[in-house]
Amino acid sequence: MEITLGIDNHATECVSWQAGDGIYAIQCPGYLPGPGRLPGWGYVVSYLVLGTDRALLVDTGFGISDLKRYVEALTHLPLTVVNTHVHPDHSGGNAQFDEVFVGEHETGGADGDEGVLFYQVPGQRDACAAVKAGGHYRFRFLRDGEAIDLGGRILRVVEIPGHTPGSIALFDENTGLLLSGDAILKRVFYGAGVPLRVYRAALCKAKALPIRDILSAHWPEPLGADFIDKMLRLLDAFDPETAERAEWSVPGMERRDLRMCFFGRDFDDPDFVALSFFMDQLEQITQ
């Protein structure tokens, strides 16, 4: 499937490919708008990791298509479902499941009922009938460093606050692949007001793992194990004075002064890495 960045892919079904040994990448329908002069993302990618006893679904997309049915055609193993964070492109299909795990600092709550999200992305298509018909589900919480045992396969929780307060990545000890959600991405939207030094420390913690490659949520290609170094160099060079104005042009959402620091020419440049932040959070993030 050819996908144009910033344009709805108009897909109604998921598409998957092998992203690693026993790991499927699943491209879900939908897209993200902006921000900035660079086009939005055409890719919304969930991952399915197979153990011998259980399978792990990492993120549930926008819910535009029936992801549960799609996953059940790929595996008969019982499913554990995780959201790397609770934005609607990662949690939109949650209602199809009884229980969803998130990082313990993502919602600020104890294990409990749904009720901590969601803004809707304006202009995004509606959830499919199967999601709309889904029941109530519970969030369960994961701690930094906690192991998820799928049988013959351990995934380790790596908390990386910054994009959201409790974003997590998952490190697959079998393959050395880090499933990074939006915490490590070609263009990180830095929205939680977390000090950059906290984000930097979390990236260094992730970098200490024996990472072979990084699989993110909005890009179909692996980012490379050295991508964290690029992010660290970007953070070290962070200069709000030279940051580019990046319009937050999402209809129906509050207008805020968004800026973007980046290296590289544009999104297709293999060296491209960017971090966009709100100017009204500048004091918080630079403390």
Contacts with Fe ion, residue ranges (CB under 5 A)? 89, 182
For the chain, the maximum distance between any two Cα atoms, rounded to a whole number of angstroms, is 53
Which residue sits closest to Fe ion, CB atoms considered?
Answer: 182
Q: How many CB atoms lie within 10 A of CB 52?
A: 11
Q: Residue 50 or residue 184: which is nearer to Fe ion going by CB?
A: 184
Non-local (6+) Cβ contacts of 240 within 8 A are 259, 261, 277, 279, 282, 286
- Shortest Å, Cβ 266 to Fe ion: 20
Write out the two tokens for 183. Answer: 């915490």
Residue number, 185 or 228, with CB nearest to Fe ion: 185
Q: Nearest approach, Cβ of 189 to Fe ion (angstroms)?
A: 8
**Minimum CB–partner distance for residue 60 and Fe ion (Å):** 12
Look at residues 256, 231, 241 and name the one whose alpha carbon lies nearest to residue 286. Answer: 241
Give the separation between CA 226 and CA 219, rounded to whole angstroms.
16
CB-nearer residue toward Fe ion: 150 or 179: 179
Q: Whole-angstrom distance between the N-terminal and C-terminal Cα of the chain?
A: 44
Q: Are 186 and 180 in contact (CB under 8 A)?
A: no
Q: How far is the CB of 44 from Fe ion (least distance, A)?
A: 7
Q: Exposed (0-12), middle (13-18) or buried (19+): which is 19, by Cβ within 10 Å?
A: buried
**Minimal distance, residue 14 CB to Fe ion, in Å:** 16
Nearer residue to Fe ion within complex by CB, 150 or 188: 188
Shortest CB 87 distance to Fe ion, Å? 5
CB 168 within 8 A of CB 141: no
| Closest separation in Å from C-beta 77 to Fe ion | 26
Q: Rounded distance, CA 55 to CA 36, Å?
A: 37
C-beta closer to Fe ion: residue 89 or 172: 89
Q: Which H or E run contains 148?
A: strand 147-149
The answer to whether the peptide bond before residue 35 is cis (omega within 30 degrees of 0) is yes
Residue (20 or 61) nearer to Fe ion, CB = 61
Nearer to Fe ion, 85 or 153 (CB): 85
